[in-house]
Amino acid sequence: MTAVHAALTDGALPPELEAYFAERAEAVDRGTADVRDGLRHLADHGLLAHPDLATNCAVIEGVARHCLTSAFSAWAHTMVAEYLSLSGSSALQAELPRLRRAETIGSTAMAPAMQHLVGLADLGVQFRHDRERYVVDGAVRWASNLFIEGFLVVVGAAGPDGARAVLAIASDAPGVHAGEPLELLALGATRSSSLRFEGVALDPSGVVSADFAPFLRAVKPRFLLLQSSFCLGLARGALEGARLGLERSFAAFRGEHDRLSADLHALGARHRRLIGDLGPTPAVVAHRLEVARMAQRAVDVELRVAGGGGYRASSSTARRLREAAFLPIQSPTEGHLLFELERAAPDEVSAPAAGGAR
Ligand SMILES: Cc1cc2nc3c(=O)[nH]c(=O)nc-3n(C[C@H](O)[C@H](O)[C@H](O)COP(=O)(O)OP(=O)(O)OC[C@H]3O[C@@H](n4cnc5c(N)ncnc54)[C@H](O)[C@@H]3O)c2cc1C
C-alpha cells in the first residue's frame, strides 16, 4: 500500500486531490472543464480504476464530496475496469493498464442489463453470429463518457436461442454511433447521450462474458457499492456546506444536521463493512437506496440552512441540489430498487445495522 492509499480514509482524499476537485467543480458543472482531466489526475496518483474495490470506493466518495460530475465519470470508467477484470478475455484484461492510465476512457451502458436481470426491461441490443464474429445491432438510451475522441463501452446484448452476453465495444468500430451530448440539469460534462449499434462486427475477444446472469450477479454488489460511494460523498459535501451556516441558523436545523451527520457516520461504517464482505446483494440494494435518500435529505437541509444564497445558480448548494436530483433516476432507479426489495426475503434485505441510520 502506497502512502496515498494509506491516506484514503473515511471518504477523504489526500489534500492535494481534495483541492484539485474542489477548485474545478464549478467549471466542470458549467462544462468549461473536461472531466477527463480529473480521470488523468487520479491516474497520475495511481488511484484510477485501482484493482482494490475499497480504494475505488474511497476515491469516488472523496471526489463526489466536491463534484458529483467528476465522481460519476470516474464511476463509469471504474465500472468498465471492474467488468474487464472479471472477464475471461485475456485481450480485454490486457486493456486494463490503459484504463488505469486514462488512455482508454470507459463507458458503462449496463442499465438495461441490470433491469433485464430482474425482469424489468428488454436489453435493446442484439447480436448474431457471422462465422466466429459477433455482429451487434440495437440501441441504448443512456450512457456517459461518450467522448468523441474515443471510449470503450460495455453493454448487454441478446443473441440467438436465448443467449445473452456482455460485450465490450470500442467507439471507433464501424457502426458505433453516439448521440450528441445532451443538455442536462447537472452532470453535463459527463457527455451523456444515447448509443446506437449498426452491424458492428466484434471478435470473440470482445466478449466480456457469455454467462450473462452469473456475471451480472457477481458484478452487481460492486456496481451498487461504487454508486453508494458517490451518494455518501455528496451527502458529506452537503453537510459540510450546511455546517458553514449553522452558527446563525435555527436550533431545529442544527438538530437535523446533527442527526444526519450521525446517520452519515453510521452509513459510512456499514458501507465499509459491505465492501469487505461484498454481499449479500439484497442488503447492498437496501444500502444503496438508503444512502441515496440520505444524500437527498442532506442536500435539502443544506439549502434550508443556506437560505436565499443557496438558491443562487452559481452557489455550490444549488449545484448539489441539481446533482442530487440524479440519484433516484440513476439505474437502478429508486423504483427499481424498491421493486427488488419487495421481492427479496426479509432476512436477506436487512443490511447490517447502520447504527443511528434511519
Ligand atoms: C445524466 C445521466 C447519465 C446516465 N448515465 C448512464 C450510464 O453511464 N450508464 C447507464 O447504463 N445508464 C445511464 N443513465 C441512465 C440511468 O441509469 C437510468 O437508466 C435512466 O435515468 C432511467 O431513466 P429512463 O427514462 O430510462 O427511465 P425508465 O427506466 O423508463 O423508468 C422510468 C420510471 O418508470 C419506472 N419503471 C421502469 N420500468 C418499470 C416497470 N417495469 N414497472 C414499473 N415501473 C417501472 C422507473 O423506476 C422510473 O421511475 C444515465 C442517465 C442520466 C440522466
- Quick: pLDDT tens for 160-175: 999 999 999 999 999 9
Helical axes 212-246 vs 281-306, angle rounded to 10°:
20
- Domain ends where: 183, 211, 239? 211
Residues 207 and 148 in one domain: yes
As given in the structure block, the three cell numbers for residue 14 are 489526500
Question: In this structure, which residue's CA is closest to atom 15 in ligand 1?
Answer: 142
pLDDT given at position 353: 56
List, for residues 214-249, the tens digit of each pLDDT value. 999 999 999 999 999 999 999 999 999 999 888 777
Cα 104 off chain centre by: 18
Domain that holds residue 272: 213-349
Task: Single out the residue of 14, 16, 12 nearest to residue 2, CA to CA.
Answer: 14
> What pTM does this model have?
0.95
175: left (phi over 0), alpha (psi -120 to 50) or beta: left
Looking at ligand 1, which atom is closest to the CA of residue 333? 47
Q: Kindly give the distance from the C-alpha atom of residue 143 to the centroid of ligand 1, in angstroms, as a whole number.
A: 11
pLDDT given at position 356: 40
- Domain ends where: 85, 100, 115? 100
> Is residue 202, in this structure, part of any structural domain at all?
yes
Residues 174 and 256 in one domain: no
Q: Kindly give the distance from the C-alpha atom of residue 110 to the centroid of ligand 1, in angstroms, as a whole number.
A: 11
Residues 327 and 280 in one domain: yes
Is 227 touching ligand 1 by the criterion CB < 6 Å?
no
264 neighbors 228 (Cβ within 8 angstroms): no
Residues 220 and 332 in one domain: yes
Q: Kindly give the distance from the C-alpha atom of residue 251 to the centroid of ligand 1, in angstroms, as a whole number.
A: 38
Is 331 touching ligand 1 by the criterion CB < 6 Å?
yes
Q: Is residue 301 helix, strand or coil? A: helix
> Is residue 158, in this structure, part of any structural domain at all?
yes
List, for residues 301-334, the tens digit of each pLDDT value. 999 999 999 999 999 999 999 999 999 999 999 9
98 neighbors 79 (Cβ within 8 angstroms): no
Helical axes 68-86 vs 53-64, angle rounded to 10°:
170
* Percentage, residues of the chain above pLDDT 70: 93
Is 69 touching ligand 1 by the criterion CB < 6 Å?
no
* CB-CB neighbours of 9 under 10 Å: 9
d(CA 291, CA 227): 9
CATH assignment of the domain containing 198: 2.40.110.10
Is 236 touching ligand 1 by the criterion CB < 6 Å?
no
> Is residue 25, in this structure, part of any structural domain at all?
yes
Residues near 193 by Cβ (< 8 Å), separated by ≥ 6? Answer: 142, 143, 146, 178, 179, 180, 181, 182
Residues 10 and 90 in one domain: yes
Task: Single out the residue of 299, 235, 280, 228 nearest to residue 53, CA to CA.
Answer: 228
Give the mutation target among 29, 140, 331 for probing the ligand 1 site: most ligand atoms within 8 A of CB: 331
pLDDT given at position 281: 86
Q: Compute the residue count for the chain.
A: 358
Domain count, the chain: 3
Is 141 touching ligand 1 by the criterion CB < 6 Å?
yes
